[in-house]
């Protein structure tokens, strides 16, 4: 998509009557949303309300969709369509792109899979993809929700890719999502310790992990994006999850990996730990 199209996309987002709306064209490559596919929407709402104190509002896509709010800030989307659409129950991160069709084509060219889309979901277009090692992720082209900057800076959600080869994964996502290019506003990629670290406007927005950089790829790892939610009290959330049908996979003082009653895995992390 050329610069004139990018400009028009940004301007259109500003004139939708949604003050503070931002277009994916201006933050391309950065994580912009997380979404959960669920079999039982009421049960999912009850679990996350109890564990993460979320509140809910109806999404514009219809009765099967909800927006989760943390302290009034939109934090995630829930789609109760896993059974209806024969989809896996899972948390999925979405990345902003300037052109969903072009990004999907780049993914195919590099050994990735396009599972769904790109499809039109006003005010934008979305697709569900998998990288060449099987980790699922989404892309979004179009306007982001009002107060998206608040969502990003408050960091209610953070993502980490667990994969067999962090360097190879960084190349794949960098080429598909246009990381570390010469385009203004692109995400920066750094190697810190044993991880690839993604920054957008100086903020850490994602990490890619595969163990020590000199180690051989671990064939036992099932590549996947793990969604982290910031909480003030990890222990209290763990107790609540146990009392509401969740499963505790790991529990450390500042972090715990949980599974909700429907089977979706996620991580809770002490606020400020990124």
**Of residues 98 and 214, more confidently modeled:** 98
β-pair partners for 246: none
Alpha helix positions (H), 32-74: 41-52
CB 101 within 8 A of CB 118: yes
The correct answer on CATH 3.10.180.10 for the domain covering 24-270 is yes
- The pLDDT assigned to 9 comes to 38
Give the closest residue to 38 by CA, choosing from 30, 28, 48: 48
| Average pLDDT taken over every residue of the chain | 83
42-51, 90-99, 183-192: segment of lowest average pLDDT: 183-192
- The pLDDT assigned to 95 comes to 95
Residues 263-267, mean pLDDT to the nearest whole number? 94
DSSP sequence for 170-196: HHHHHHHHTTT-SSTTPPEEEEETTEE
CB 239 within 8 A of CB 248: no
- The pLDDT assigned to 147 comes to 63
Separation between Cα atoms, residue 274 and residue 132, nearest integer Å: 26
Burial of 147 (0-12, 13-18, 19+ CB in 10 A): middle
pLDDT single digits (tens) 148-189: 666 666 556 689 999 988 989 999 999 999 998 888 888 999
pLDDT single digits (tens) 191-243: 887 899 999 888 888 999 986 555 556 666 789 999 999 899 999 999 999 99
pLDDT single digits (tens) 135-145: 999 999 987 76
- The pLDDT assigned to 266 comes to 95
Give the closest residue to 149 by CA, choosing from 4, 16, 18: 18
Say if strands 124-130 and 136-142 run parallel, antiparallel, or are unpaired.
antiparallel
């Amino acid at each position: 998509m050329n610069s004139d199209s990018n400009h028009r996309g940004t301007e259109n987002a500003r004139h939708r009557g949604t003050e503070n709306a931002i277009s994916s064209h201006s933050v391309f490559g950065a994580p912009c949303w997380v979404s959960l596919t669920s079999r039982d929407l009421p049960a999912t709402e009850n679990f996350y309300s109890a564990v993460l104190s979320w509140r809910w509002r109806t999404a514009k896509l219809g009765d099967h969709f909800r927006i989760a709010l943390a302290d009034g800030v939109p934090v995630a989307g829930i789609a109760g369509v896993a059974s209806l659409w024969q989809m896996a129950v899972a948390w999925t991160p979405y990345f902003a792109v300037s052109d969903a069709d072009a990004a999907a084509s780049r993914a195919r060219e590099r050994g990735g899979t396009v599972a769904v889309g790109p499809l039109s979901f006003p005010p934008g277009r979305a697709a569900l993809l998998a990288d060449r090692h099987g980790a699922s992720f989404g892309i979004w082209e179009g306007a982001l929700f009002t107060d998206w900057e608040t969502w990003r800076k408050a960091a209610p959600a953070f993502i980490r890719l667990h994969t067999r080869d962090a360097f190879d994964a960084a190349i794949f996502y960098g080429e598909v999502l246009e990381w570390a290019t010469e385009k203004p506003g692109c995400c920066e990629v750094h190697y810190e310790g044993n991880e690839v670290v993604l920054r957008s406007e100086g903020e850490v927005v994602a990490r890619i992990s595969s163990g020590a950089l000199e180690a051989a790829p671990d064939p036992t790892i099932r590549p996947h994006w793990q969604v982290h939610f910031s909480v003030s009290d990890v222990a209290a959330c763990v107790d609540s999850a146990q009392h509401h049908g969740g499963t505790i996979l790991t529990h450390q003082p500042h972090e715990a990996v949980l599974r909700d009653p429907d089977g979706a895995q996620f991580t809770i992390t002490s606020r400020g730990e990124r």
